[in-house]
Amino acid sequence: MFQLPRGTRDFTPADMEKRRFVEHRMRRLFASFGYREIQTPTFEHLELFTAKSGESIIDELYSFQDKGGRDLALRPELTAPVIRCYIEKLQMEPKPLKLFYIGNCYRYDRPQKGRYREFQQAGCELIGASTVEASTELIAMAYTIIHNVGVKNIGLHIGDLTLLAALFDHYKITPEQRKPLIPLIDKAQYTELSTALHDQGLPAKDIEELLDLLQTSDLKKIKPFIKGNRSAETEYLFIEQLFTLLHASFNITNAHLKLGIVRGLDYYKGFVFEIEAPVLGAEKQLCGGGAYELVNIFGGSEVPQAGFAIGFDRTILALESEHFTFPVSFVDAYVIPVNEDMIPIALQIATTLRDHDTTIDVDLLRRGIGKALKYADTLHAKHAIIVGPKEHQENAVTLRDLQTGAQLQVKTTDLFTHLKQS
Amino acid sequence: MFQLPRGTRDFTPADMEKRRFVEHRMRRLFASFGYREIQTPTFEHLELFTAKSGESIIDELYSFQDKGGRDLALRPELTAPVIRCYIEKLQMEPKPLKLFYIGNCYRYDRPQKGRYREFQQAGCELIGASTVEASTELIAMAYTIIHNVGVKNIGLHIGDLTLLAALFDHYKITPEQRKPLIPLIDKAQYTELSTALHDQGLPAKDIEELLDLLQTSDLKKIKPFIKGNRSAETEYLFIEQLFTLLHASFNITNAHLKLGIVRGLDYYKGFVFEIEAPVLGAEKQLCGGGAYELVNIFGGSEVPQAGFAIGFDRTILALESEHFTFPVSFVDAYVIPVNEDMIPIALQIATTLRDHDTTIDVDLLRRGIGKALKYADTLHAKHAIIVGPKEHQENAVTLRDLQTGAQLQVKTTDLFTHLKQS
């Protein structure tokens, strides 16, 4: 017997109904902000991903050679492909350009809850706008999508890499010294960070102060430490306005500062943010994003860029963990011919009803009415339409409400009206 | 600069709107027949595909080893994965089981119009029903989907492998002799077929007769040649009823017999069918399917199976070739703050309108009204909402109809009503 490849999943009809429901809502919400969908291939030239993330990413990639000897890789994320496509095809479009995507990504990772080797991401790229209103709208959209999809308990944290760099400058921590610190900050390993700073010769008082600044949600606390640093002072005002706009214009009141957000990758610049669902425990991050510079690395013309990606699978997990009530699909009617002569009539009735945008199934196994009704129950059918010869002579059928068990004789031409009423 | 891998495609927002429109319609139509969606991984164990299609398929596959040394392949089609999933997870479900899928497939093929290395298929599997009404409904669904998606000129051809075998039997062509003939029949290479039959020692009169039978659309012509062959006589009645039902119950009047349909693969049994769009010329086949036996080959319990796959990309090509009018997406309103103070108000108005399921974009670049209106045009925005300080003091904005150029002052609270009216 053949088995599913390790770390991948089959989605049954019940799973797919949940997934399509969430996907449809996300797509609708991206569109409501004026974003338009884009799709790129499942695999790209390997060097696209190493150019973005460094050679070390190869260990996590599904990479292979095609029969023409090209080095290809299944995409591990969608920002690099979208930016590649932008440079190839969309650089001349009017700005700002608002693009979103929903697609599968692949990482050769140890499978565990919330981490799969094939997973779906929903994300976007905003190209050509870096005003505070543009940045705020982007963050607000991420929050609104996760919130309106139905996740109740979510946290929004906003950091800034310019302000973080200014703090490092204040404590005279050199760019070289920062490198080993970044992963510790990223993983919130403050004990190890404290040791590392101590080893770098930072006084205990400064270590305590810096750790506090990395964890504070009070923006004002940062102010004294960036004084005189022009670009940091400008960025401070930007972040201050961003928080004000989130509240005033997008009704988002639970955004918190967190300068400890570093996003790990070199091409992020300026603001960064993360959205988490605490219900998921250790793997709680649902979304990450920020401003970045990738177009120029890939050979395109300088332009402001920002974006985010939402973990689609984790969003579903969060909804399930919060006992979200997903809509249940149903069959409007199950049509049962009582004998072989009635089969063409039953099929014809189904065809006519389907033209009215209904979901109609028909007994295809010539079973008795009892068995057919039992099967109709497993389909969550709302009605059974029983097609018998006597009723057919009067152009009628028996319509049975499968919730109440009530039956009545209905003219075939009135069937649709009856189905919609009940 | 990085490039798209050969044979793959980027889909721009304009492309994606077409694709999502067709995908949505197809999904809705599958569901209207009581089919439910399923999704399997993008790659499978390589042996799944060789077990189904033989070792020769490896030449066309994107196959690779993962870092655990497993031989994997990007799926070239979806029947094998869906049946693998059925055997692993769904064998105990009530029958018939109606499953559909829409997903990407991969073939290392020479790229040409209508043939891509990454392409999308929409298809289904019907498991556990082989009555004539079940088979007819399956064919009718394929036809209805392609027709209702909007392809105007389509041809439906139905063949039958049991009847074809009976013809071979009649002419004493052994199973061994049939093997080289099948690809010629499949490609309608009748001159080459004629030569091959001649080389096999079939008399000229018989060759002519057989070629005529392979191409006739008149079922009755077949009857004399299968006389006395019990299973073929039963199948004859089945196909006769199938044509009758297609017409009487599904209003499909242009179905034609074509015994020359062989589908190429060994696991097809009984009826087979193809749907084509002549507008596409050489690559005109949009859909192929039939009854098959794969579950037992894969180690599952014996059960009737049938299914089909629609080439999604060719369906789009056919619609485009027939100049189908795809719906155009639009922005309900583009909100323009006239100065910086109005930015929070403009964003707030957009947020409120989006709660009413509208598509609202906002000027994010602080440009003058003229430039902003020009950009709004490129978005196909229906309205501009101009937010100025004077109007704001009266809780109002200027609403401009971008088709007519008409402007009026509207209370902010009445905006949604105005947007929906016009």
Q: What's the distance, CA A259 to chain centroid? A: 24
pLDDT of residue B263: 79
> Does the residue A33 lie in any domain?
yes
Read off the amino acid at residue A407. Q
Assigned token pair, B310 = 């629609």
Q: How confident is the model at residue A265 (pLDDT cuts 50, 70, 90)?
A: low
> Does the residue B225 lie in any domain?
yes
Mention every residue, 6+ apart, whose C-beta is less than 8 A from residue A312: A19, A22, A23, A26, A102, A119, A120, A121, A122
B305 and B269 within one domain: yes
Sequence-ordered alpha helix ranges (H) in B251-360: 312-321, 343-354
Half-sphere exposure at residue A61, Cβ-oriented, CA atoms within 13 angstroms: 25
B228 and B94 within one domain: yes
B303 and B186 within one domain: yes
From B289, B321, B353, the end of a domain falls on B321
pLDDT of residue B264: 66
Q: How confident is the model at residue A7 (pLDDT cuts 50, 70, 90)?
A: very high
- Using one digit for the tens of pLDDT, what is the confidence trace for A99-154? 999 999 999 988 777 789 999 999 999 999 999 999 999 999 999 999 999 999 99
> Does the residue A301 lie in any domain?
yes
3-state class percentages of chain B: helix first, strand second, coil last, to nearest 5: 45, 25, 30
Instruction: With beta carbons under 8 A apart, name residues in chain B contacting A47.
Output: 2
Read off the amino acid at residue A26. M
What is the total count of domains within chain A? 2
B227 and B196 within one domain: yes
> Does the residue B6 lie in any domain?
no
Closest to B249 (Cβ–Cβ): which among A16, A74, A351? A351
> Does the residue A231 lie in any domain?
yes
B368 and B310 within one domain: no
In terms of DSSP bridges, do strands A71-74 and A118-127 run parallel, antiparallel, or are they unpaired?
unpaired
Selected residues 134-153 of chain B with any CB under 8 Å from a CB in chain A: 134, 136-137, 140, 144
> Does the residue B326 lie in any domain?
no
Assigned token pair, B86 = 């059925």
How many CB atoms within 10 Å of residue A218? 11
ipTM, 2 decimals?
Answer: 0.95
For residue B242, pLDDT over 70 is answered with yes
Instruction: With beta carbons under 8 A apart, name residues in chain A contacting B27.
Output: 20
How many CB atoms within 10 Å of residue A132? 18
Between CA B246 and CA B132, with CA B144 as vertex, the angle to 5 degrees is: 35
A336 and A414 within one domain: yes
- Using one digit for the tens of pLDDT, what is the confidence trace for B339-397? 999 999 999 999 999 999 999 999 999 999 999 999 999 999 999 999 999 999 999 99
For residue B62, pLDDT over 90 is answered with yes
Q: How confident is the model at residue B200 (pLDDT cuts 50, 70, 90)?
A: very high
The residues facing A411 across adjacent strands are: A396
Lowest mean pLDDT among A17-21, A65-69, B52-56, B174-178: B52-56
Closest to A37 (Cβ–Cβ): which among B20, B331, B360? B20
Determine whether the interchain pair A1/B72 forms a contact, defined as Cβ–Cβ distance below 8 Å: no
Q: Does B324 touch chain A (CB under 8 A)?
A: no
Instruction: With beta carbons under 8 A apart, name residues in chain B contacting A294.
Output: none
DSSP B115: B
Average pLDDT over residues B260-277: 87
Nearest C-alpha of chain B: how many angstroms from A54?
Answer: 15
Determine whether the interchain pair B5/A41 forms a contact, defined as Cβ–Cβ distance below 8 Å: yes
A238 and A282 within one domain: yes
Average pLDDT over residues B193-198: 96
| Percent of chain A topping pLDDT 90 | 89
pLDDT of residue A58: 87
From B321, B352, B370, the end of a domain falls on B321
pLDDT of residue B379: 94
The residues facing B207 across adjacent strands are: none
Closest to B134 (Cβ–Cβ): which among A17, A74, A364? A364
A262 and A161 within one domain: yes
pLDDT of residue A264: 66
A351 and A313 within one domain: no
- Using one digit for the tens of pLDDT, what is the confidence trace for A34-78? 999 999 999 999 999 998 888 888 889 999 988 888 999 999 999
- Using one digit for the tens of pLDDT, what is the confidence trace for B294-304? 999 899 999 99
Mention every residue, 6+ apart, whose C-beta is less than 8 A from residue A191: none
Residue of B nearest to A295 (CA): B1
> Does the residue A190 lie in any domain?
yes
CATH number at residue B287: 3.30.930.10
Cis check for the bond before B13: say yes or no (omega within 30 of 0).
Answer: no
B233 and B95 within one domain: yes
Range of the domain at B258: 13-321
> Does the residue B255 lie in any domain?
yes
Average pLDDT over residues A313-320: 97
| Percent of chain B topping pLDDT 70 | 99
B63 and B169 within one domain: yes
For residue B296, the SS3 value is: coil
Most confident of A55-59, A274-278, B267-271: A274-278
pLDDT of residue A135: 98
How many beta-carbon pairs under 8 angstroms link A with B? Answer: 274
User: Structure pTM?
Assistant: 0.95
Of B346 and B1, which is predicted with more confidence? B346
CATH number at residue A386: 3.40.50.800
A335 and A317 within one domain: no
From A271, A288, A321, the end of a domain falls on A321
Mean pLDDT of chain B: 95
Assigned token pair, A386 = 């029983």
